[in-house]
Amino acid sequence: MSNPSILILCTGNSCRSHLAEGVLRHAAGDLFDVYSAGSKPAGYVHPKALEVMREIGIDISGHTSKSLNEFLDREIDTVITVCGNADQACPMFPGQVNRYHWGFDDPAHAQGTDEEILAVFRQVRDQIKLVFEAYATGYREKK
């Protein structure tokens, strides 16, 4: 029996979806197969996303920015969208799957000094960490 698969979607697949993928993989261990993708992939993982995840001991340096089209022919059990701003078009995934929307602000839009921008990335990372760790814990306790 294979693990349930979870696809975390956002528009660019450069920040939030990778933060969430990294946190959920770390928190859930081998409970799920976790992926992330975007409707309009940026083509890179934001360097500050890599940095703030390293700070909490999670390495996402092997992640790549992918299109949700790569997952259309896969069996996906749960889709979680993480786009936060109302003006962004969050992608929808076809098919009958569990769907959740947990919106977070996009740290890629942060402005200011390097330290101010990092503070925004840390804040979003910590919000994502709370939600996705709770999700993994809840799933584990249900089993």
Catalytic site positions: 10, 83, 90
User: Each residue of 6-33: pLDDT tens digit?
Assistant: 999 998 999 999 999 999 999 999 999 9
Residues above pLDDT 90, as percent of the chain:
73
- 54: nearest Cα among 142, 105, 118: 118
Residue for token pair 């693990």: 3
Domains of the chain by range and CATH? 5-142 (3.40.50.2300)
* pLDDT at residue 86 in the model: 45
Residue 96's Cα: distance from chain center in Å? 20
> What is the DSSP annotation of 77-116?
SEEEEEE--TTS------SS-EEEEEEE--GGG--SSHHH
CB 86 within 8 A of CB 109: no
Per-residue pLDDT band at 75 (split at 50, 70, 90): confident
Residue 99's Cα: distance from chain center in Å? 14
Residue 6 bridge partners (DSSP): 34, 78
* pLDDT at residue 85 in the model: 59
User: Each residue of 92-132: pLDDT tens digit?
Assistant: 666 767 889 999 999 999 999 999 999 999 999 999 999 99
Please tell me the pTM assigned to this model: 0.92
Residue 81 corresponds to which tokens in the numbers above?
Answer: 């969208």
